[in-house]
Structure 1
Amino acid sequence: MFFGQDLVKSKVEFSSLDDNEELNIAYGADDKFMFGAGVSIESVIINNKNRKLKFHIFTDDISAENAERLSLICKNHKTAIYIYNVNAESIKTLPSNKAWNHAIYFRLMIADYFHRKANRVLYLDSDVFCSGDIGDLIDLDISGHTVAAVNDPSTKHIIKTDELFCTTFAEKGYFNSGVMLINIDEWNKCSITEKSMKILINDCALNALTYYDQDAINVATCGSVLFIDNTFNYIIDLNYKYKCDENLAHKQASLFHFVGLTKPWHEWSEFYDECKPFRVAKLSSPWCDEPLMSPCTKHNYKYAAKHYKFNGRYFRALCNYMKYKTLSG
């Protein structure tokens, strides 16, 4: 294991389960994404009411208010939620940008933590929302595979990656790491965390990485992935709406994944039917009275302006655009 015994500094448990779980589901998030993670948990529960699920959140930043809301989920449903305050110093030096901070690397800690504690763990990003039964994932045979995941359509860079790392993504496929059913024993036997970290700390390798953690995990697991149907990670980029006026969520899916910088919890996403899985879960969750988030960064204002303009809210579009220009200097 790459991460040692000091990985978890403290743990808080909320539980109303009285039997063994069918599946462990894990998230890695800081407090900015806890709104999404909490509603995501709610969405999984309300669409899988007869399942015994345990949820695990790995974080180094959570407010008392959000922790209390997570505890309320357990009071409202028969489930368990564990919050792990992790030692994040070793990942804070890894590459990041305006879209992704060090929290994207919490997923590498998860498989290490569950070594000899569980056979499999379903990892979900905080912007993944459930709209159907996940029983097929619970029952899926992943023996001999490090991870089961869905092919990622954003693979323009894989030829360069194949050339540098001698991988075969172009032939065998490249997956999106926002939903991963992890075979804990196989992952650790193949040292996937260690291999991923070696890539991430290699300055030469970084030149070929587009999606830092996702690329590194793909390289480390190449050839050992079980590719599954995209109903378990149906990818939607809401910013594509103003580029092409079409219903992006044209398929029934169990898990919808909202990639890109506009999320369902942003107020400028309020126009779109694609966000229904988030809205339904939010209404039944402890975040039901939480307003959608207003823009707070220049990039937020930029995308808000585009979406308001696309939806005919020209005055709001202008206000957000002016704020974006002010923050851009």
Structure 2
Amino acid sequence: MYHLVFSADENYIKYTSVLITSIVLNTDKSKKIQDFDKNSNIKNEKYFFHILSNFISDKTREKLLNLQNDLNIIFPCEIIIHIKNDEDFKNFPISGAAHSLKLPYYRLKLSSIFNEKIEKCLYLDSDMLCICDIREVFAIDLKGRVVGVVGDPGSKKSKIKFKENNKKKTFYFDENYFNSGFLLINLEEYKKYDIERKCEELASKCYYIKAADQDLLNATIETKLRYKFDFAYNFSTIAFCYVICKDENKNRLNHTRDEFNKSIKNPKILHYGEKPWKFLKSYFDYKGNNINDYWWDVASKTPVFNEELLKSKKDITNYLLCAGLGRELFDAILKFNFLKVNFLIKNTSHDEKYIQKAKSIENDFFGICCILGNAIFYARYYKKNFFGVYFKALKIIYNFKKYHFKSRN
């Protein structure tokens, strides 16, 4: 039995259904769990897909039941819904992904939904796509550790600030900081070390926290209690554009360049930054394929939800504006055209022209344009000034030019 957990609100269920479908479709029915773990005593293999949510309508519940029935024909599976209440997380601060709802915190109380007989579960973010047989993850021996994790490719200079005994304290993260989108949890050890209580206790004391549940888990689970997975199992798609490895900067991705280059050639689970339901095109993989096409291919095969998803695909165009703005910003930075940078932020009258220009951006350059375009979107939405965009873009372009082609060798 394999227990997988996702968190999704009513609007996100259709995207979760694509991830669930990718897991089922990539299960090799010619193999048994013993092909991955010869010591396993599992006989009746079945997926249990647990969805944590704050609300799911009757209509969506019916869709999920039909999805279950259709996928069950391919491989035994069951979808189970767990409704939680934001009120149960009143002590948890508004932060990062939890800026409007407390849904991201729901994963912290995973152990409470399972009985003592279940040894491990796998939590996955809904903006992922499985392209391996997921049973190989469950076959991993965590060797008594609390959780199996994948390092986050971002900067490790973040911190949590909290008050304890009326004194201000700061917890600094290090190079072992992990991404909470992939968590293979040893439920016995998770309970033994009382991770749920520790997270809530720390959350109630925080007055500065950036990445919600992710920061709390990193602060409460000691490094020695973590099993380190290859980056391939939580392959953050921005890494197709560029990534900085630990032999280049210890505070970035906690894998060497050689280790990373093995992962980029054979990613197991893709973790999308530019969501495919918003971007029809973003990064291109080692084989030169548009990674968003992989997601849409599975979406077209997803029972029940495929028609709704494909219908929405026709209206996705904003990514072209994003890439077009990014292309203009790239050129403006290289030419030290400060007025142009400011114009891109303040003026929207030329947006249609940028959309048209985006259609001619070469594939290998499209991803960096999306990243830069998002910087313009952010500045427009939050009314940021020229300086923030300029220095951010300067850093992005520098890293792209220095590290992009290292991932292709």
Report the TM-score when normalising by structure 1: 0.75
Contact 2:125 2:181 in 1 (8 A): yes
Matches within 5 A, 1:1-329: 21=1, 23-50=2-29, 52-78=46-72, 79-92=77-90, 94-97=92-95, 99-100=97-98, 101-158=101-158, 169-170=174-175, 173-203=176-206, 206-207=207-208, 209-223=209-223, 224-237=225-238, 250-259=264-273, 262-266=274-278, 268-270=279-281, 273-285=290-302, 286-289=304-307, 290=309, 291-292=311-312, 305-309=321-325, 315=352
Shift of 1:134: 2.0
Taking the aligned partners of 1:227 and 1:116, their CA distance within structure 2 comes to 25
**Greater radius of gyration (CA):** 2
- Higher-helix-fraction structure: 2
Shift of 1:154: 1.5
Shift of 1:211: 1.0
Contact 1:238 1:269 in 2 (8 A): no
Taking the aligned partners of 2:172 and 2:379, their CA distance within structure 1 comes to 43
Q: 1:60 to 1:294 in 2, by over 3 A?
A: farther
Taking the aligned partners of 2:264 and 2:354, their CA distance within structure 1 comes to 27
Q: Which moved more, 1:71-80 or 1:312-321?
A: 312-321
Taking the aligned partners of 1:326 and 1:215, their CA distance within structure 2 comes to 28
Q: 1:165 to 1:307 in 2, by over 3 A?
A: same
Which amino acid is the alignment partner of residue 225 of structure 1? R
Specify the SS of the correspondent of 1:169. coil
Q: 1:182 to 1:99 in 2, by over 3 A?
A: closer
Q: Which residue pairs with 1:11 in the alignment?
A: none
Unaligned runs of 5+ in 1: 1-20, 242-247
Report the TM-score when normalising by structure 2: 0.61
Shift of 1:33: 1.7
Shift of 1:118: 1.1
Q: Which residue pairs with 2:39 in the alignment?
A: none
Q: Which residue pairs with 1:17 in the alignment?
A: none
Which amino acid is the alignment partner of residue 295 of structure 2? F
Shift of 1:39: 0.8
Taking the aligned partners of 2:323 and 2:270, their CA distance within structure 1 comes to 20
Q: 1:316 to 1:127 in 2, by over 3 A?
A: farther
Specify the SS of the correspondent of 1:116. coil
Shift of 1:65: 3.5
Shift of 1:113: 1.9
Shift of 1:156: 2.7
Q: 1:327 to 1:226 in 2, by over 3 A?
A: closer
Taking the aligned partners of 2:111 and 2:353, their CA distance within structure 1 comes to 44
Taking the aligned partners of 1:73 and 1:117, their CA distance within structure 2 comes to 27
By relative contact order (CA 8 Å, sep 6+), the higher-ranking structure is 1
Which amino acid is the alignment partner of residue 10 of structure 2? D
Contact 2:91 2:200 in 1 (8 A): no
Q: Which residue pairs with 1:6 in the alignment?
A: none
Taking the aligned partners of 2:382 and 2:210, their CA distance within structure 1 comes to 25
Shift of 1:192: 0.5
Shift of 1:63: 3.0
Specify the SS of the correspondent of 1:186. helix
Unaligned runs of 5+ in 2: 30-44, 162-167, 243-260, 284-289, 329-349, 357-372, 384-409
Taking the aligned partners of 1:52 and 1:269, their CA distance within structure 2 comes to 33
Taking the aligned partners of 1:62 and 1:182, their CA distance within structure 2 comes to 25
Cα deviation digits, residues 103-156 of structure 1 (max 9, x gap): 101101212222514110000111111011123211111131110011111233
RMSD of aligned C-alpha atoms? 3.7
Specify the SS of the correspondent of 1:32. coil
Taking the aligned partners of 1:325 and 1:215, their CA distance within structure 2 comes to 25
Instruction: Tell me the number of residue pairs that the alignment of Structure 1 and Structure 2 aligns.
Output: 289
